[in-house]
């Protein structure tokens, strides 16, 4: 945890104090040959690096393409453009970005596009397990492969973003580059050359580089001074005043074995059952066709929702840059049928060791939380929505992972403006990549495995999040809330036959907290989150949100792209400072303070937009061209006085299995949503107390 907040630090400046480094004029730079860092040790046969190439191959096919026919109304100010592209890269977890002008000698090929500028970015190596720690044989020696995959991912997204804005752009990363990446990285001030190796400021580990070349003019950075310091001794920088990464950051992290992850989940109380009732025997499996985004796609919610469904998540050119990867990873998701162990991957006879190794691997690849549960049959959808075929439950275990959607960007946003869908898509894409590679690794070892992403999933994620101990049911309803990042995550799952010891559900007093807090309900733009108590829904105790209202708003609202405003508003959506961590533990350990903590959150103005953090351009894709948003921009802050009025007006519907399209229904058939019946069902919902009494009677 940092000591100092970064609330006054613009996102494009990065998490490092790059502005404090001595630099030189580009003309004064002497040309030196230098290499990017490699792994310190060779990868074993069972290493994850062997599962990465098929993803790398896929990503490489989307590095280039035709730009949109017209240019977006972006600022002429070249500094604003550079800042925007740097922030776009930092949002995707690059650590350092820089810009330089392209020279003829930078090209490695004779036939070259007429690009004028290069944007260079750096992907840091992740820490590895020590020898003997869980996952060591799978992970050690795989950092360069991991970094190259991530650099290629960014090359696709950032070049796609520029092309969607009407500029020519091509991505370059390891073994697929048309330019001299190392030379450009030195000139763009991202790294410097010393003794034949590239060195990055502040970093203690290695890194890989990626480049986007383009005709999008941007302000250039100056090269780092060859003899200057790479870590200034200024105590305010060393301690991270102003919100930058302090000097001790990686040393503190290194004290925790990789499989435990960054957050102390091991300190959260565990229980055999979740804090909310789950009546397994009463849960009816539902078809994917009943998911409300699928219902919108099939026309169940009317023509406008059907029409907007195809574009609502990709209405911004940045999100559109992610589309090729999100959609095209689906064929790589994996197997359902049993496989035979191959002997690769070491001794897999200890399920606890396997579980810890899988967690280490998830954290290494970029997941923020990893949990494991039994993939019980009721967690699987019953039927697919394309052919209407039955989905049998196939794998025994589910590995569930959460990807943080990013505190800083959330701070700058209203939650339903033009960056909203990009926040979701980034997390979905990263999750699909991580789970896909992990499932491929399990298959290499001879265990059937299949990832379940937002683009294609055969399991319902929420029960796996709950049972694998990554969160509790919250008032937001369909969102399981984690103690350390609140509701600010997207999930991904992979199922497998690799034997692992499952985790147990967690209990951190969230039920009491949400009983004392209504902020998400008050700030939901369409009054879809209940002000009332929990109810029973298809075997689950839940604060049931009106998913029809929520989906309709997310799909059809015109002043932004999608919505995640409830996630932004929650008092558990906190910065990773020592002060915020203290508040988290007070929220957990002192249930009597719940209302005071929730009220304080409002009092401090949390949930209002922080304009310093707004880094994106407000743009809307219309007929393949990025333009000023046609209907404008949602610019919401806090509405402390509207709660009572909304509570009085609230009418909620829910749609249990009997009100959903039956199993076997495909997207070609329209089954209109029966809202009246949904309202009636909600009004008659069983209370959790009644369900508990019924359960007690049945068991005697
Ligand atoms: Fe937005 Fe839906 Fe959350 Fe309401 S419930 S704030 S519409 S995402
Ligand atoms: Fe619970 Fe309040 Fe967060 Fe809503 S905003 S999920 S009520 S803590």
pLDDT digits (tens, 9 = 90+) for 66-79: 999 999 999 999 99
> Rounded to the nearest whole angstrom, what is the distance from the C-alpha of residue 458 to the centroid of ligand 2?
29
Place of tokens 């707004």: 614
Distance (Å, whole) CA 653 – CA 649: 13
Give the Cα separation of 573 and 592 in Å (integer).
Answer: 20
143 within 8 A of 223, measured Cβ to Cβ: no
**Residue 399: beta bridge partners?**
372, 494
Q: How far apart are CA 132 and CA 135, in angstroms?
A: 8
What ligand 2 atom has the least distance to the C-alpha of 474?
Answer: 6
ipTM: 1.00
Q: Whose CA is nearest to atom 2 of ligand 1?
A: 550
pLDDT in tens, 83-125: 999 999 999 999 999 999 999 999 999 999 999 999 999 999 9
Give distance in angstroms: CA of 511 to centre of ligand 1.
Answer: 20
- Residue with the smallest CA separation from ligand 2 atom 1 is 514
Beta strands in 169-291 (DSSP E): 169-172, 192-194, 197-199, 207-214
Mutate to test the pocket of ligand 2, among 476, 599, 640 (most ligand atoms within 8 A of CB): 476
Question: Is ligand 2 within 6 A of the CB of residue 571?
Answer: yes
**CB-based contacts of 87, cutoff 8 Å, min separation 6:** 11, 12, 615, 616
Residue 514: CB within 6 Å of ligand 2?
Answer: yes
Positive or negative torsion for Cα 319, 84, 65, 178: negative
| Ligand 2 within 6 A of CB of 572 | yes
Distance from residue 596's CA to the centre of ligand 2 (Å)? 13
Is the CB of 673 inside a 6 Å radius of any atom of ligand 2?
no
Give 417 Cα–ligand 1 centroid separation in angstroms.
12
Q: Give the ligand at the shortest distance from the Cα of 574.
A: 2
Average the pLDDT over 19-29 and give the result.
Answer: 95
Mutate to test the pocket of ligand 2, among 530, 534, 545, 570 (most ligand atoms within 8 A of CB): 570
* pLDDT tens, residue by residue, 602-632: 999 999 999 999 999 999 999 999 999 999 9
Please name which ligand lies nearest the alpha carbon of 487.
2
Cβ–ligand 2 contact at 517 (below 6 Å): yes
Q: Are strands 397-404 and 489-496 parallel, antiparallel or unpaired?
A: antiparallel
Which ligand is in closest contact with the Cα of 544?
A: 1
What is the whole-number distance in angstroms between the Cα of residue 524 and the centre of ligand 1?
A: 5
pLDDT above 80: residue 31: no
Distance 114 CA to ligand 1 centre (A): 44
Residue 192 scores a pLDDT above 80: yes
How confident is residue 478, by pLDDT bands cut at 50, 70 and 90?
A: confident
> What is the Cα gyration radius of the chain?
25
pLDDT, residue 699, reads 82
Rounded distance, CA 520 to CA 523, Å?
5
């Amino acid at each position: 945890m940092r000591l100092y907040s970064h609330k006054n630090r613009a996102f494009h400046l990065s998490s490092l104090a790059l502005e404090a480094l001595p630099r030189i004029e580009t003309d004064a730079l002497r040309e030196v040959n230098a290499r990017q860092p490699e792994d310190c040790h060779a990868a074993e046969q069972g290493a994850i690096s062997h599962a990465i190439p098929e993803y790398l191959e896929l990503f490489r096919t989307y590095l280039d393409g035709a730009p949109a026919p017209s240019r977006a109304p972006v600022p002429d100010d070249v500094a604003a453009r550079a800042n925007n592209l740097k922030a776009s890269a930092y949002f995707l977890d690059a650590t350092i970005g820089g810009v330089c002008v392209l020279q003829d000698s930078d090209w490695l090929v004779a036939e070259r596009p007429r690009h004028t500028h290069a944007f260079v970015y750096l992907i840091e190596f992740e820490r590895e397990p020590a020898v003997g720690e869980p996952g060591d044989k799978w992970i050690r020696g795989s950092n360069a492969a991991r970094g190259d995959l991530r650099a290629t991912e960014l090359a696709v997204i950032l070049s796609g973003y520029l092309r969607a804005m009407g500029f020519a752009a091509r991505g370059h990363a390891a073994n697929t580059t048309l330019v001299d990446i190392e030379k450009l990285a030195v000139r763009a001030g991202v790294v410097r050359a010393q003794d034949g190796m590239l060195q990055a400021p502040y970093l203690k580990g290695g890194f890989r580089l990626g480049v986007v070349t383009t005709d999008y003019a941007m302000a250039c950075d100056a090269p780092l001074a060859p003899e200057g310091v790479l870590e200034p001794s200024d105590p305010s920088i060393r301690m991270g005043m102003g919100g930058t990464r302090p000097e001790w950051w990686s040393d503190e992290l290194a004290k925790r074995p990789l499989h435990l992850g960054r957050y102390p989940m091991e300190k959260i109380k565990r229980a055999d059952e979740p804090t909310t009732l789950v009546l397994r025997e009463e849960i009816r499996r539902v078809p994917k066709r009943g998911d409300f985004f699928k219902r919108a796609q099939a026309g169940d919610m009317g023509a406008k929702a059907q029409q907007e469904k195809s574009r609502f998540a990709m209405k911004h050119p940045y999100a559109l840059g992610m589309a090729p990867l999100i959609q095209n990873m689906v064929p790589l998701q994996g197997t359902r049928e049993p496989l035979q162990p191959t002997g690769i991957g070491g001794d897999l006879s200890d399920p606890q060791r396997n579980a810890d190794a899988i967690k280490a691997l998830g954290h290494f690849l970029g997941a923020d939380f990893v949990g494991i549960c039994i993939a019980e049959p009721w967690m699987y959808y019953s039927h697919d929505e394309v052919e209407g075929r039955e989905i049998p439950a196939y794998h025994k275990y589910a590995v569930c992972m959460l990807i943080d959607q990013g505190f800083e960007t959330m701070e700058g946003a209203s939650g339903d403006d033009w960056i909203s869908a990009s926040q979701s898509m980034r997390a979905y894409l990263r999750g699909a990549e991580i789970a896909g590679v992990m499932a491929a690794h399990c298959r290499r070892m001879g265990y059937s495995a299949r990832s379940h992403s937002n683009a294609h999933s055969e399991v319902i994620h929420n029960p796996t999040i709950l049972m694998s101990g990554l969160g509790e049911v919250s008032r937001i309803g369909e969102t399981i809330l984690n103690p350390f990042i609140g509701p600010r995550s997207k999930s991904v799952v992979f199922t497998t036959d690799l034997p692992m010891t499952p985790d147990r559900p967690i209990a951190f007093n969230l039920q009491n907290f949400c009983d004392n807090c209504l902020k998400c309900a008050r700030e939901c733009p369409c009054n879809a989150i209940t002000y009332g108590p929990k109810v029973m829904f298809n075997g689950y105790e839940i604060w049931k949100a009106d998913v029809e209202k929520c989906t309709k708003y997310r799909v059809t609202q015109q002043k932004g792209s999608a919505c995640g405003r409830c996630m932004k508003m929650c008092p558990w959506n906190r910065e990773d400072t020592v002060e915020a961590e203290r508040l988290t533990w007070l929220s957990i350990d002192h249930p009597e303070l719940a209302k005071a903590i929730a009220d304080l959150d409002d009092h401090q103005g949390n949930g209002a937009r922080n304009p310093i953090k707004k880094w994106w351009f407000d743009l809307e894709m219309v007929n393949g061209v990025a333009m000023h948003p046609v209907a404008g921009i949602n610019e919401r802050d806090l509405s402390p006085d509207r709660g009572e009025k909304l509570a009085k007006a609230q009418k909620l519907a829910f749609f249990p299995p009997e009100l959903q399209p039956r199993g076997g229904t495909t997207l070609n058939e329209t089954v209109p949503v029966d809202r009246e019946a949904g309202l009636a069902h909600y009004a008659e919902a069983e209370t959790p107390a009644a369900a508990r009494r019924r359960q007690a009677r049945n068991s005697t």
